[in-house]
Amino acid sequence: MNQPLINDALAMLRLQFQPLAHYQYPTRHLALSLLLLGVVAAAGAPAGMGEPLNVILFFTAYVTLETLLYGRFMQWWLRRATGAGVPSLTGTIVAASAIQLLDPLSSWLPDDVARVASMTIGMIGLWLLVSALAFGSGLTKLRILLGTLLFAPVALALSVVLMNGATGLGLVTMPEELQRALQQAEQQAEQQADSRPAAAGNVQAP
């Protein structure tokens, strides 16, 4: 992370935001920042996911792709709302996400407190990002939040696709909690699919 990016991240924590064109940084600095965020995400991963290097590569790929896709989506969302050109949002997203680098410190706390602290850090990062995009675009925070919520299914689909790909290649092992969640989702989908023919058969013709 270069000095301007660090200064901008600290300024965001003080609720000092700039126009979106201000948050433009060299590609190598953005790449290094995304790598650091990937390492932090890997540090909080469940135990037993695989070799540390593979886990770091997986989370770095996820963080990078999610950031780029979210940035492109929000560019379209802001352009659609304002009708004006929107600069790259990658720097804005990275600067607002820098608070995630504090997340490993929560591991020093008791488990229950650590989960609350980690969730709080995540919520602060989201709030800073929404505030920065709202300030830079002139739109309301509610409209920015709505765009973020619309992107959430894309982020979920990305995580599932990457996880399936990484487990298929033997790079990482899917966490048990995620396995159970996917199995429950598949069972619910099968139950819904089975119930539809039965419901159709019970419909009587007029």
Does 142 fall in a domain? yes
Winning range, highest mean pLDDT, from 19-33, 94-108, 168-182: 19-33
Residue 194 pLDDT > 60, yes or no? yes
Dihedral-angle region of residue 33 (phi above 0 means left; psi in -120 to 50 means alpha; beta otherwise): alpha
pTM for the model:
0.79
Does 191 fall in a domain? no
Does 180 fall in a domain? no
The larger pLDDT score, comparing residue 187 to residue 14, is at: 14
Who's near 93: CB < 8 A, 6+ residues apart? 67, 70, 71, 129
Does 84 fall in a domain? yes
Cα-Cα-Cα-Cα dihedral of 154, 86, 145, 31, to 10°? 60
Query: How high is the mean pLDDT of the chain?
Result: 82
Q: How confident is the model at residue 17 (pLDDT cuts 50, 70, 90)?
A: very high
Q: How confident is the model at residue 78 (pLDDT cuts 50, 70, 90)?
A: very high
The larger pLDDT score, comparing residue 163 to residue 175, is at: 163
* Mean pLDDT of the region 70-88: 89
Does 131 fall in a domain? yes
Domain interval for residue 106: 3-173
Does 109 fall in a domain? yes
Burial (0-12, 13-18, 19+ Cβ within 10 Å), 197: exposed
What does the pLDDT read at residue 68?
93
- Tell me the per-residue pLDDT of 47-65, one tens digit each, with 9 for 90 and over: 667 788 888 888 899 999 9
Does 31 fall in a domain? yes
What does the pLDDT read at residue 163?
82
* Mean pLDDT of the region 182-201: 59
What does the pLDDT read at residue 133?
94
What is the tally of structural domains in the chain? Answer: 1
Q: Which of 141-146's residues contact partners 24+ apart within 8 Å by CB, and which partners?
A: 143/81, 144/74
Does 68 fall in a domain? yes
What is the 3 state secondary structure string of 172-183? CCCCHHHHHHHH
